[in-house]
């Protein structure tokens, strides 16, 4: 059931919900084609209910040539046959709602696929035609116009412009197959209003808004000043976890006009019953700019990537908590927290991998789950999965093809359900998963971990239960967060996370949840605990 709200403070369901991100391709494959699908998700909804999450966010399942795993949408109002049919969405929604789970779908408004009828029409039309004005087509620089219109780089590497046969260039902040829409053209917002209504009418509970900070570019499309690297998605294995924190000149991101779109979407969502919501994926540069997306008349939530970008450090975590709470307080929004998703290296690996990386990941998760607002989990983190070293010949991420760097496939490998060999119940026996699954995952399957009281799965289930009981109200007080120990209080709950290398004495109280074994009244390194 959605989180119960105390009668005295009626809060919408999403405000402190735990969301579980289902990466469609890699969750459950019902037909054995190697790709996960909607019937596969439906068949596993009970698993998510048992784990104890409140809502499911499903990544794009719309018709798409799949050049960016579905984030290149060719038709916003249908289902790719590889993932099912529209009736499968209806079945999924019915089943989820029956189980008390909410369902949020992905919306990709910054760009379409180059296979979208609008882009095909744009290519077939002449420079200056109305069909081109839905995208950002421009003349190139130089006497022959053979240089891109500006110096912007694609998030996936290389120039953000490609040239078409008649000599014009079009903007694609991601892959060449993802042309950016021109949100100053009224046809674009009108189309997305219809798309929102289409899915709301079918019964979805909300939307995750892809690249929410990208819709408007500075009108002049001027050069970016002081370019050192082009991307805002921290996509490279080595530097993903440590993105520069200095404020960069970003004429392609986070322009003020974007907020009017979210005001109008808020009004549209409010025409529906049931507290429908939207969460922005906005890689903004500061907590303050993130908070602008969740002003009272804009979107309900924005992903807060600050923790995900922080190193393993009590001081850094304390700063993230302080900075996030301070940023959202003036706009009255609840914060969100996330440690992993399909675009970043899985957090056990970011924290060093192996038993120590996993211990740290569990400790960070337990600490995060105590915080106010809502938390987003990424499929497979409840199994303690690490980033997989996908062999080069199997990689599919456009980032890999454009840069030669490993990219994000390592976080996207299908999850293991049962059995001792690939595909570990991800699909019927004999299925070849779209990314190869490691041979040594037998001990990590859902089947094995559900039977083991010390497994990461059991830890997640217990932590989610404990959260409902102990972590739903109260302000956060940071008792200590300067050296190696993060010590927080929230209502009756005390949270201690040991980021140092020596055990620390536990404060007084009864232990209600720990992220790993404790030694008497000592909290070992890389461990967190909740006490009341
Ligand atoms: C999604 C990515 C995708 C990109 C382009 C993102 O932020 O999460 O997976 O590649 O948008 O749509």
Per-residue pLDDT reduced to its tens digit, 94-150: 999 999 999 999 999 999 999 999 999 999 999 999 999 999 999 999 999 999 999
Catalytic residue among 68, 168, 281, 386: 281
- Residue 211 CA, ligand 1 centroid: distance in Å: 7
17 pLDDT more than 60:
yes
Per-residue pLDDT reduced to its tens digit, 481-506: 888 999 999 999 999 999 999 999 99
Q: Which atom of ligand 1 is nearest to the CA of 111?
A: 12
Q: Is 210 a catalytic residue?
A: yes
Determine the pLDDT at residue 286.
87
Residues with beta carbon inside 6 Å of ligand 1?
68, 71, 108, 174, 210-211, 233, 281, 342-343
Name the residue of 179, 280, 343 whose CB sits within 8 Å of the most ligand 1 atoms, as the mutation to test its pocket.
Answer: 343
Pick from 240-244, 368-372, 460-464: least confident: 240-244
Q: Is 281 a catalytic residue?
A: yes
197 pLDDT more than 70:
yes
Residue closest by Cα to atom 3 of ligand 1: 71
Q: Which atom of ligand 1 is nearest to the CA of 398?
A: 10
Strands 18-22 and 374-378, sheet pairing: parallel
- Residue 78 CA, ligand 1 centroid: distance in Å: 19
- Sorting pLDDT into bands at 50, 70 and 90, what band is 237? very low
User: For residues 510 and 529, is the Cβ–Cβ distance under 8 A?
Assistant: no
- Residue 71 CA, ligand 1 centroid: distance in Å: 6
Determine the pLDDT at residue 236.
44
- Sorting pLDDT into bands at 50, 70 and 90, what band is 422? very high
CA dihedral defined by 466, 470, 476, 479, rounded to 10 degrees? Answer: -80
329 pLDDT more than 90:
yes
Computed over every residue of the chain, the mean pLDDT equals: 94
255 pLDDT more than 60:
yes
Per-residue pLDDT reduced to its tens digit, 55-79: 999 999 999 999 999 999 999 999 9
Catalytic residue among 37, 210, 386, 409: 210
Determine the pLDDT at residue 482.
81
Residue closest by Cα to atom 5 of ligand 1: 71
- Residue 210 CA, ligand 1 centroid: distance in Å: 6
Determine the pLDDT at residue 238.
38
- Which two three-digit tokens encode residue 74? 């060719």
- Residue 394 CA, ligand 1 centroid: distance in Å: 20
What domains can be seen in the chain, in order of their start residue? 1-110+187-216+260-388+443-473 (3.20.20.80), 474-531 (2.60.40)
What is the share, in percent, of the chain residues with pLDDT greater than 90? 92
Q: What does pTM read for this prediction?
A: 0.95
Question: Helices 86-98 and 187-202 sit at what angle, rounded to 10 degrees?
Answer: 50
- Sorting pLDDT into bands at 50, 70 and 90, what band is 240? very low
Q: Which atom of ligand 1 is nearest to the CA of 175?
A: 5
Q: Which atom of ligand 1 is nearest to the CA of 343?
A: 9
The whole-number average pLDDT for the span 289-304 is 97
- Sorting pLDDT into bands at 50, 70 and 90, what band is 246? low
> How far apart are the C-alpha atoms of 64 and 67, rounded to whole Å?
8
Per-residue pLDDT reduced to its tens digit, 18-57: 999 999 999 999 999 999 999 999 999 999 999 999 999 9
User: For residues 74 and 116, is the Cβ–Cβ distance under 8 A?
Assistant: yes
Alpha-carbon distances of 416 from 26, 259, 326, 426, 441, rounded to whole Å: 10, 41, 40, 6, 7
- Buried b / exposed e along 460-480 (16+ C-beta atoms within 10 A): bbbbbebbeebbbeeebebee
**Can you list the alpha helix ranges (DSSP code H) found in 133-186?**
none
Residue closest by Cα to atom 2 of ligand 1: 343
242 pLDDT more than 90:
no
- Residue 30 CA, ligand 1 centroid: distance in Å: 25
CA angle 263, 267, 272 (to 5 degrees): 145
Name the residue of 112, 211, 213, 376 whose CB sits within 8 Å of the most ligand 1 atoms, as the mutation to test its pocket.
Answer: 211
- Sorting pLDDT into bands at 50, 70 and 90, what band is 244? very low
Determine the pLDDT at residue 228.
53
Determine the pLDDT at residue 239.
42
Residue closest by Cα to atom 12 of ligand 1: 71
- Residue 459 CA, ligand 1 centroid: distance in Å: 30
The whole-number average pLDDT for the span 79-94 is 98
Name the residue of 68, 114, 345 whose CB sits within 8 Å of the most ligand 1 atoms, as the mutation to test its pocket.
Answer: 68
């Amino acid at each position: 059931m959605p989180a119960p709200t105390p009668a005295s403070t009626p809060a919408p369901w999403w405000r402190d919900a735990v969301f579980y991100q289902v990466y469609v391709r890699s969750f459950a494959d019902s037909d054995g084609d190697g790709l996960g699908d909607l019937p596969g998700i439906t068949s596993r909804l009970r698993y998510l209910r048992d784990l104890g999450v409140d809502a499911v966010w499903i990544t794009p399942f719309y018709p798409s040539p799949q050049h960016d795993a579905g984030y290149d949408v060719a038709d916003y109002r249908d289902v790719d046959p590889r993932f099912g049919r529209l009736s499968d969405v209806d079945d999924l929604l019915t089943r989820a709602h029956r189980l008390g789970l909410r369902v949020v779908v992905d919306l990709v408004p910054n760009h379409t696929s180059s296979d979208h009828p609008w882009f095909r029409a744009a290519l077939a039309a002449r420079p200056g035609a109305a069909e081109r004005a839905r995208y950002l087509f421009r003349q190139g620089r130089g006497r022959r116009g053979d240089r891109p219109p500006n110096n912007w780089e694609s998030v996936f590497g290389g120039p953000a412009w490609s040239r078409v046969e008649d000599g014009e260039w079009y903007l694609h902040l991601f892959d060449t197959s993802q042309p950016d829409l021109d949100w100053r053209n009224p046809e674009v917002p009108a189309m997305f209003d219809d798309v929102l209504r289409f899915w709301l009418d079918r019964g979805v509970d909300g939307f995750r808004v892809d690249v929410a900070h990208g819709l408007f570019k500075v009108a002049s499309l001027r050069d970016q000043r002081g370019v050192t690297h082009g991307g805002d998605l921290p996509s490279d294995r080595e530097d993903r976890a440590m993105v520069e924190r200095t404020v960069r000149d970003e004429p392609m991101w986070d322009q003020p006009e974007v907020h009017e779109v979210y005001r109008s979407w808020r009004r549209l969502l409010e025409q529906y019953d049931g507290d429908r919501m939207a969460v922005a994926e906005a890689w903004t540069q500061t907590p303050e700019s993130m908070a602008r997306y969740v002003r009272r008349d804009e979107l309900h939530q924005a992903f807060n990537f600050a923790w995900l970008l922080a190193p393993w450090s009590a001081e850094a975590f304390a700063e993230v908590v302080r900075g996030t709470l301070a940023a959202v307080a003036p706009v009255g929004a609840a914060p969100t927290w996330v440690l992993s998703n399909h675009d970043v290296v899985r957090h056990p690996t970011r924290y060093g991998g192996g038993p120590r990386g996993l211990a740290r990941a569990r400790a960070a998760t337990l600490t995060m789950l105590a915080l106010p607002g809502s938390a987003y989990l990424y499929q497979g983190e409840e199994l303690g999965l690490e980033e997989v070293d996908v062999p080069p010949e199997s990689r599919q991420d456009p980032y890999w093809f454009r840069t030669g760097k490993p990219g994000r496939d390592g976080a996207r490998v299908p999850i293991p359900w049962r059995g001792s060999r690939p595909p570990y119940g991800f699909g019927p026996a004999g299925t070849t998963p779209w990314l190869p699954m490691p041979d040594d995952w037998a001990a990590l399957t859902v089947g094995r971990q559900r039977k083991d009281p010390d497994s990461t799965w059991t830890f997640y289930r217990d932590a989610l239960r404990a959260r409902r009981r102990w972590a739903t109200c109260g302000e956060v007080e940071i008792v200590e967060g300067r050296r190696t120990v993060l010590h927080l209080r929230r209502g009756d709950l005390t949270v201690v996370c040991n980021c140092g290398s020596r055990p620390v004495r536990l404060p007084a109280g009864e232990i209600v949840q720990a992220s790993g074994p404790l030694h008497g009244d000592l909290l070992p390194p890389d461990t967190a605990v909740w006490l009341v």
